[in-house]
Chains A and B, each alone.
Chain A
Amino acid sequence: MALGVSLRDRFPVLSRTVGDGKRLVYLDNAATTQKPVEVIHAVSGFYQESNANVHRGLHTLSEEATTLYEGARKSLGFWVGVDETEVIFVRGATEGINLVAQAWGGENLGRGDRVLVTVGEHHSNLVPWQMACKRAGADLILLPLGEDDLIDKEALARELERGAKVVAFTAQGNVLGAPEDVSGVCQMARTAGALSVVDAAQAAAHRRIDRDEWGCDVLALSGHKMMGPMGIGALVGTKTFLEGTPPWMGGGEMILDVRDRDADWAPIPAKFEAGTMNVAGAVGFHAALDVMRALLDEGMEDHISGMTRLAVDGLKARDGVHLLAKGEPHGVVSFWVEAAHPHDLSHLMDQEGVAVRAGHHCAKPLHRRLGIQSSLRASFYGYNDEDDVEVFLGALDRARAYLL
């Protein structure tokens, strides 16, 4: 599978036009990636040929569906280097983090406990902790980021010394885009006896991750940011963490035995998968991992770095354009433009077929610290190429000129 323009015909949506016949230049990949035919066919194939509920029947379809669903779990477990029982399917990173904050936090957080997150978090790794801390009477501390946009290790060490129950942080932010030193942070957390929770939503879209290399207790990711379907993702936790955490939702499939007034929980992973799961999503996610493997083998990570650098250089060369990142972003470039509101610019650029994101990108505390309300963000993936970056920069220039 080649990268760039020759990859595009595998992604049907990329051949459509927008506005008055403009080629779609899709640069909102950090929000969600487009889907290759392999994924689309896997999802529709499941419904056409094997649809049945899993773990619930002895008939052929149910067995097939179960095999497909568990096959997806095996594949994802293999992908991140863990045992398949350590993979819990959820809706996405958001649900995974909420599971940890509510189920683990509900049992383990108490008055005066301290939870560390960073100022660069997506709301999905901030708001669940706000809620858990409020409920428990615990304190939430927002760690600063250093000049390289990475966690300030001295501040982290100071806060850990004062005691912390959790360090929850992103492996790669969706605004600043700097790949974090995940194993370094997890090691510090472990030494201090704090639970490490990694938001891998962006990181997992750009490289293969290895849970043991990171050394985290738990990580969360979203299939839709990795070319998979929406509504499927995973929480990956160590056996110790998952076995020691009470279930989150109660219902079918998560039980061993149910009596009138109480129940026993099924072993992991079923303990955390109450109710009918997104089986078609898991099947599509499995297909996405296969595509991901092929694209990473082709050098997708470097390909994305190259486009990111080109965009950064192009933006830096323009007067009145300010980058949010101080460090070196990967895959995303967030910026603001003097005397032009991001919504106007993005709307005008859309008329040229260029899809970029305008807003706070679910990171309001970060924007507030940077002294801005909102920004523009371009984010790249394997099917983009340097020509897309040029079209983007040109469209930005014309949109600015229009508003001037």
Chain B
Amino acid sequence: MSLDNLYRRVILDHYRSPRNKGRVKGENVIGEGKNPSCGDDLVLSIRLEGDDLVAVGWEGEGCAICCASASMLTKAIEGKRVDEALAWAESVKALVRGEEPKEDLGEVEALAGVAKFAVRVKCATLPWVALGIALDGEGEATTE
């Protein structure tokens, strides 16, 4: 299927076996994201100690792209500082818009295939927008 570029193996792997699913112990920051028209609906659960994201989990429902993106997010930002995590979020958003990311995003770069499918960009970015809101904003994220 020519969608192999969208549904890369690593994406399907995160979708089938999501990492860090569930709320973390000692959660003290949450980020909520919703795309009402497609039903993507997730919560990032974060334990922040000082400036460090020491534990990151997620729960919710959504399409494969959104769930895989959330799962990869938790792996990518755990252990990072707030400013580093926010910089990552910006890079990922640029990546799925089809731009060259400023840093090496590791397996998250598998999301680059989304750029060719305009309707799916919002699925991929939702967890990252929710992260931004959790760490430096208020309210609920949506990428619709």
The total of Cβ contacts below 8 Å across the A-B interface reads: 48
| Cβ–Cβ < 8 Å partners of A348 in chain B | 1, 3, 7
Q: Say yes or no: B39 contacts A403, CB within 8 Å.
A: no
**Interface segment, B45-53, B59-67, B105-113?**
B59-67
Please tell me if B73 contacts chain A, counting CB pairs below 8 Å.
no
Q: Say yes or no: B2 contacts A341, CB within 8 Å.
A: no
Q: Say yes or no: A344 contacts B64, CB within 8 Å.
A: yes
Q: Say yes or no: A374 contacts B39, CB within 8 Å.
A: yes
| Cβ–Cβ < 8 Å partners of B120 in chain A | 343, 347
Q: Say yes or no: B3 contacts A374, CB within 8 Å.
A: no
Interface size of A as a range: 10 to 19
Contact of B39 among A19, A360, A404 (CB under 8 A): A360
Q: By the criterion of a CB under 8 Å from any partner CB, how many residues of chain B are at the interface?
A: 21
Please tell me if B121 contacts chain A, counting CB pairs below 8 Å.
no
Shortest distance between the CB of B89 and any CB in chain A (Å): 23
Please tell me if B115 contacts chain A, counting CB pairs below 8 Å.
no
Contact of A351 among B1, B37, B61 (CB under 8 A): B1
**Residue from B1, B15, B41, B61 having most chain A Cβ neighbours under 10 A:** B1
| Cβ–Cβ < 8 Å partners of B126 in chain A | none
| Cβ–Cβ < 8 Å partners of A343 in chain B | 38, 63, 120, 123
Please tell me if A20 contacts chain B, counting CB pairs below 8 Å.
yes
Contact of B15 among A19, A364, A374, A403 (CB under 8 A): A403
Please tell me if B82 contacts chain A, counting CB pairs below 8 Å.
no
| Cβ–Cβ < 8 Å partners of B41 in chain A | 373
Point out residues on B near A: beta carbons under 8 Å: 1-3, 6-7, 12, 15-16, 36-39, 41, 61-65, 117, 120, 123
Identify the 9 closest CB pairs spanning chains A and B, nearest first: A373-B39, A341-B63, A343-B63, A374-B39, A344-B64, A344-B63, A351-B1, A351-B3, A343-B38
Point out residues on A near B: beta carbons under 8 Å: 19-20, 341-344, 347-348, 351, 358-360, 364, 373-374, 398, 402-404
A-B contact pairs, 10 of them (CB 8 A): A20-B2, A344-B64, A347-B3, A348-B1, A348-B7, A359-B37, A373-B41, A374-B39, A402-B7, A403-B12
